[in-house]
Structure 1
Amino acid sequence: MARLGIKRTRSHSDAIVSSSSSHGGAGKPHPVVKMCGITSARDAEMAAKEISRVARSYGAESVGVFVDDDEETILRVSDSCDLNFIQLHGDESRALVHTLSKNNRIVYVLNADEDGKLINSSPVLEYALDWFLVDSAKGGSGKGFNWQKFQMPLVKSKNGWLLAGGLHADNVCEAFSSLKPNGVDVSSGICAPDGIHKDPNRISSFISNVKSLSCRS
Structure 2
Amino acid sequence: MALVKICGILSAEMAEHVAKLEVDYIGFVFARSKRQVSAAQAAEMIRSIRSASPERKVKAAGVFVNPTLEELDAIVSEAPLDVVQLHGQESANYCREVKSRYGAYGIEVIKVFSLSTAGAASVGEEGAVEAEAESDSYESAANKLLEPYRDAVDGVLLDTFDPLYGGGSGKTFAWDAIPPYQAWCREAGVPLLVAGGLLPDNVSGLLEQYRPDGVDVSSGVETDGTKDLSKIITFVERVKSIV
Q: What TM-score do you get using the length of structure 1 for normalisation? A: 0.74
How far the C-alpha of 1:125 sits from its partner, in A, is: 4.6
Q: Aligned residue for 1:135?
A: 159
- Which residue, out of 211, 214, 220, partners 1:189? 220
| Residues 41-60 of structure 1: pairs in structure 2 closer than 5 A | 41-51=12-22, 58-60=56-58
How far the C-alpha of 1:173 sits from its partner, in A, is: 0.9
Q: Aligned residue for 2:81?
A: 83
Equivalent residues of 2:92, 2:149 under 8 A apart: no
Determine whether 1:177 maps to 2:148: no
Q: Percent identity?
A: 34
Cα separation, 1, equivalents of 2:91 and 2:77? 17
Number of equivalent positions: 180
Task: Write 1 or 2 for the structure with the bigger share of strand.
Answer: 1
Cα separation, 2, equivalents of 1:123 and 1:74? 25
Alpha carbons of structure 1 residues 149 and 98: separation in structure 2 relative to 1, 3 Å: closer
Cα separation, 2, equivalents of 1:161 and 1:126? 13
Q: Aligned residue for 1:8?
A: none
- Which residue, out of 113, 117, 128, partners 1:114? 117
Alpha carbons of structure 1 residues 132 and 72: separation in structure 2 relative to 1, 3 Å: same
Q: Aligned residue for 1:18?
A: none
Equivalent residues of 1:142, 1:165 under 8 A apart: yes
Cα separation, 2, equivalents of 1:98 and 1:111? 19
Alpha carbons of structure 1 residues 87 and 128: separation in structure 2 relative to 1, 3 Å: same
Q: Aligned residue for 2:97?
A: 99
How far the C-alpha of 1:94 sits from its partner, in A, is: 6.1
Equivalent residues of 2:114, 2:122 under 8 A apart: yes
Give the match's secondary structure for 1:129: coil
Structure 2, unmatched stretches of 5+, are 24-52, 124-144
How far the C-alpha of 1:84 sits from its partner, in A, is: 1.6
Alpha carbons of structure 1 residues 169 and 97: separation in structure 2 relative to 1, 3 Å: same
Q: Aligned residue for 1:22?
A: none
Give CA deviations for 1:101-134 in whole Å, capped at 9, x if unaligned.
Answer: 1143200111101112222322515526211100
Cα separation, 2, equivalents of 1:95 and 1:127? 10
Alpha carbons of structure 1 residues 108 and 125: separation in structure 2 relative to 1, 3 Å: closer
Equivalent residues of 2:119, 2:177 under 8 A apart: yes
Q: State the superposition RMSD in angstroms.
A: 2.3
How far the C-alpha of 1:92 sits from its partner, in A, is: 4.3
Cα separation, 1, equivalents of 2:92 and 2:73? 14
Which one is further off, 147-156 or 108-117? Answer: 147-156
Equivalent residues of 1:131, 1:157 under 8 A apart: no
How far the C-alpha of 1:158 sits from its partner, in A, is: 4.0
Q: Aligned residue for 2:235?
A: 206
Cα separation, 1, equivalents of 2:88 and 2:149? 18
Task: Write 1 or 2 for the structure with the bigger share of helix.
Answer: 2
Q: Aligned residue for 2:129?
A: none
Q: Residue type matched to 2:231 in 1? A: R
